A and B are shown apart, each in its own frame.
Chain A
């Protein structure tokens, strides 16, 4: 499965807090915003910059010095969460 970050989803850091925000054309209360840790924000940005699964996993292994299996597991788990929350769309590879 590959995960494509949804249009309008952005990652920001404000006053040290890492946040994922799904912007809306008609914003209302009950906003779509999630707090994440720094690693999750980094992975989100990798996925946004280049949706290619292999590329994201390679960048994760290089950035954090982790093995490929761990990076794949992080990608799949986090990608599924993003898809559930509406921040990404899952597609068959």
Chain B
């Protein structure tokens, strides 16, 4: 404090507060939505609507920290619930410090990422490469505090013909290559992770549509500013819906993707013709029912609906789904659910009776002779990418590896639809309830 009253404070934060705690899973058996879980949802809802959140008398800071951690909303929860975390009578110093570290870590990484993204796009511009950031990098700007929208990575779409040059630029900027598939290459530099895509999506979402082919039209649905492009809100929304469906089909999803959908839906709905176009796209992708169900869930969780009319939900579905989404964490990475283990198999097994047997036989032969479209994405067989005639060599390599390294596991996987039929049926009922099943 100076004589005049001009106070300057630069507060060094304890080192512990600058470190993100390791992820851990402490989930205990669900009984019903407790006070802390309700507070968690209210805090997220209030955050995207710019409201303060009243602290309930029995909120548990440690449970709030756990939820914030597995749902990747630590910075948001700290900012929204700091009254609780800064009360030493209600929150211990370790929990308070860890929550604060989420907030600080989010701000720090987002600012580093902003500079790094600028460096990458400048390099792309200099090389004449067109580029379009999508997903979180665009959606974050719809959040009241973009710095707090956590991102595992930044996705940038380039044209297939520019893919190699874009990857070389990334390496030249000091990023290390962690190739995922021929369509997506992941690059790391410190905590920064970038995914350079030549296709926006390459996986089947399990509802019988060619979502990957549909979203190959992304460049035609983008607003261009020179070499930079920004996805049209409606097309991007359809993509985010398909992406969320993919996570539900595969490993599950936490609450954050639904916050993204609410914020993007607000933008889409602000332009009536864009909303109508978006509904048509969702219909074409057979995702209207899924989106209506998401809309009803978002209305119950956060008080905000999506683009389609909210579906009518049974209480049983709402409770089961809320429980599962709480448990799943951001992309289902935090659960130990056996139901999710059967997701990939269930995608291909949508029929009943004799059709199930036919699908099971097809599945078995599909494991022995996987198609080129699947094998080219597996790193060990990437030598066939662009050379489909080499697929017999990939099959032979696969048989040898399976026979000598893990014959039991390979047999179980090939026979999965026969020996785990009950679980697959359960999984298919679950997907039908979500409006994703065929």
Contact = CB atoms under 8 A, between A and B. Distances in A.
Interface string B171-210: 0001000000000000001111000000000000000000
B108 A37 contact: no
Contacts of B15: 30
A73 B107 CA distance: 30
Contacts of B105: 29, 31
Given A25-B116, A29-B18, A74-B2, A20 B10 contact: yes
B8 A43 contact: yes
A69 B114 CA distance: 38
A83 B115 CA distance: 22
Interface in B1-42: 2-4, 6-13, 15, 18-20
Contact of A23 (B4, B20, B111, B147): B111
A21 B4 contact: no
Contacts, number: 113
B18 A31 contact: yes
Interface string A20-36: 11011111111111111
B8 A39 contact: yes
A14 B148 contact: yes
Contacts of B189: 25-26
A73 to B, nearest CB: 6
B108 A78 contact: no
The residue among B8, B105, B145, B190 with the most chain A CB atoms within 10 A of its own CB is: B8
B87 to A, nearest CB: 17
A25 B109 CA distance: 11
A82 B111 CA distance: 19
Given A36-B10, A66-B6, A14 B79 contact: yes
Contact of B10 (A21, A32, A34, A70): A34
Given A14-B148, A25-B190, A30-B19, A35 B4 contact: no
Contact of B192 (A8, A20, A27, A73): A27
Given A14-B148, A30-B18, A39 B6 contact: yes
Interface size class of B (residues with CB under 8 A): 35 or more
Given A12-B107, A31-B18, A23 B9 contact: no
Given A23-B112, A34-B13, A29 B19 contact: yes
Nearest to B15: A30
A49 interface: no
Given A14-B147, A70-B3, A34 B12 contact: yes
Nearest to A21: B111
Nearest to A73: B2
Contacts of B79: 14-15, 17
A77 B114 CA distance: 31
Contact of A31 (B4, B10, B104): B104
B290 interface: no
Interface in A1-55: 8, 10, 12, 14-15, 17, 19-21, 23-37, 39-40, 43
B190 A24 contact: yes
Given A12-B111, A14-B145, A29-B19, A85 B10 contact: yes
A7 B339 CA distance: 50
Given A15-B145, A70-B2, A31 B108 contact: yes
A37 B8 contact: yes
A85 B8 CA distance: 15
B104 A33 contact: yes
B237 interface: no
Contact of A81 (B10, B113, B145): B10
Interface in B218-235: none
5 contacts: A15-B145, A25-B116, A34-B13, A73-B2, A77-B8
Interface of A: 8, 10, 12, 14-15, 17, 19-21, 23-37, 39-40, 43, 60, 64, 66-67, 70-71, 73-74, 77-78, 81-82, 85
Across chains A and B, which 7 residue pairs bring their CB atoms closest together, nearest first?
Answer: A26-B190, A31-B108, A15-B79, A27-B112, A70-B4, A66-B4, A37-B9
